[in-house]
Amino acid sequence: MKNIESLYRREDDKVLIEIKLSSIIQLYNSFDPAPFYEKELDREAEQYIVDIVRDFPKKTEFRIVVYLPGGNSCCEEAQKIPESIRNHFMYLVLMQERKFREMWVYGKFTILVGLSFLAVAMIASQVVADSFSDSRPAQLIATALEIAGWVAMWEPVTVHLYQLWPIVKLRKIYEKISRMDIDVRFSS
């Protein structure tokens, strides 16, 4: 079986992310009214680029090559494609940074709530266990309170161990893409 690198062409020791277009407009979200160099990329074009970068080791270097029909060679919009791709991915970096900050604040809040609830549940469990030491139902309630207290810690642990890091990873991918060499080439 071939490895992933054998599926892509290389140029100057960089893996080429090649995008062939029949029209410049294919690259952009058609509902975005912004000027070309500020336009949002088409979701499929964005995902195509991101997926290729994800498939390779972190240290792999890339070049994005956009192929256009020869008639667009003098078009001002064609000259702005590299800037628009960089702008799009820099915007996504900013969005990931905002998402991280929001999740971080949420995570801190869940830790406060979780630890507070855990403390109350543990104290209540101890009070019930000490007050009704001979009662089996009371012991069951004491155990249930302890378990509920630890379950309250599930969300803070999930946020900090599993939800923040994918945001950081995706931000790094967007940053990498925003710094890539981007060429626009015209077919004859």
Partners of 15 in the beta sheet?
10, 62
Partners of 176 in the beta sheet?
none
Q: What is the DSSP letter of 120?
A: H
- pLDDT, residue 15, reads 94
H or E element, residue 67: strand 62-69
- pLDDT, residue 34, reads 65
- pLDDT, residue 29, reads 82
Buried b or exposed e, range 80-117, using 16+ CB within 10 angstroms: bbbebbbbbbeebbeebeeebeebeeebeebbeebeeb
Average pLDDT over the chain, rounded to an integer: 90
Instruction: Give the 3-state secondary structure of residue 69.
Output: strand
- pLDDT, residue 78, reads 84
The string of pLDDT tens digits covering residues 38-69 is: 668 989 999 999 999 999 999 999 999 999 98
The string of pLDDT tens digits covering residues 77-97 is: 788 899 999 999 999 999 999
- pLDDT, residue 131, reads 92
pLDDT at 166 over 70: yes
- State pTM to two decimals: 0.83
- pLDDT, residue 186, reads 87
Q: Which phi and psi angles does 40 have, rounded to 5°?
A: -75, 135
- pLDDT, residue 140, reads 94
The string of pLDDT tens digits covering residues 94-141 is: 999 999 999 999 999 999 999 999 999 999 999 999 999 889 999 999
